[in-house]
């Protein structure tokens, strides 16, 4: 029993760190009429989901060897009945985000580069 506890305590921090990554992603804001301005968004892994750092949206995760796909159903006043879709390339660290909705308002695709922090 002592050996099991010792082995668990040695490897436990490693397994928790693997599941606690945060992708800090940035984009240039020309699509929003703010050329030269940079916006930063965090996608933080919490358990089996990711959470948007500013909005608090919880994303379901589909993860593959080279890509993470995040999806969230969004219903807020500005964008009712929408799907928030984020794709992160784990190799190139590029990301894209699109909010899909039935509204006639065009919502620009977001995207840029990410860094991973733990």
* pLDDT > 70 in the chain, percent: 84
* Whole-number pLDDT of residue 90: 96
User: What token pair was written down for 117?
Assistant: 């922090």
**Dist. CA 40–CA 37, nearest whole Å:** 10
Q: Phi and psi for 57 in degrees, rounded to 5?
A: -60, 135
Q: How confident is the model at residue 19 (pLDDT cuts 50, 70, 90)?
A: low
* Tens-digit pLDDT profile for residues 28-43: 988 788 888 999 999 9
* Whole-number pLDDT of residue 113: 96
* Whole-number pLDDT of residue 5: 46
Residue of 117, 114, 57, 54 lying closest to 90 (CA atoms): 114
Q: Phi and psi for 49 in degrees, rounded to 5?
A: -120, 170
Domain boundaries, the chain: 21-117
Residue 7 vs residue 70, higher pLDDT: 70
- Beta bridge partners, 24, equal 42, 115
């Amino acid at each position: 029993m002592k050996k099991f506890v010792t082995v668990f305590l040695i490897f436990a921090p490693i397994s928790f760190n693997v599941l606690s990554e945060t992708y800090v992603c940035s984009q240039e804001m020309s699509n929003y009429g703010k050329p030269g301005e940079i916006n930063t968004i965090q996608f933080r892994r919490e358990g089996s989901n990711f959470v948007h750092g500013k909005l608090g949206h919880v994303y379901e995760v589909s993860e593959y060897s080279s890509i993470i796909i995040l999806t969230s159903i969004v219903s807020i006043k500005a964008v009712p009945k929408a799907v928030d879709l984020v794709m992160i390339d784990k190799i190139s660290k590029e990301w894209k985000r699109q909010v899909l909705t039935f509204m006639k308002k065009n919502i620009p695709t977001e995207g840029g580069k990410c860094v991973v922090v733990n």
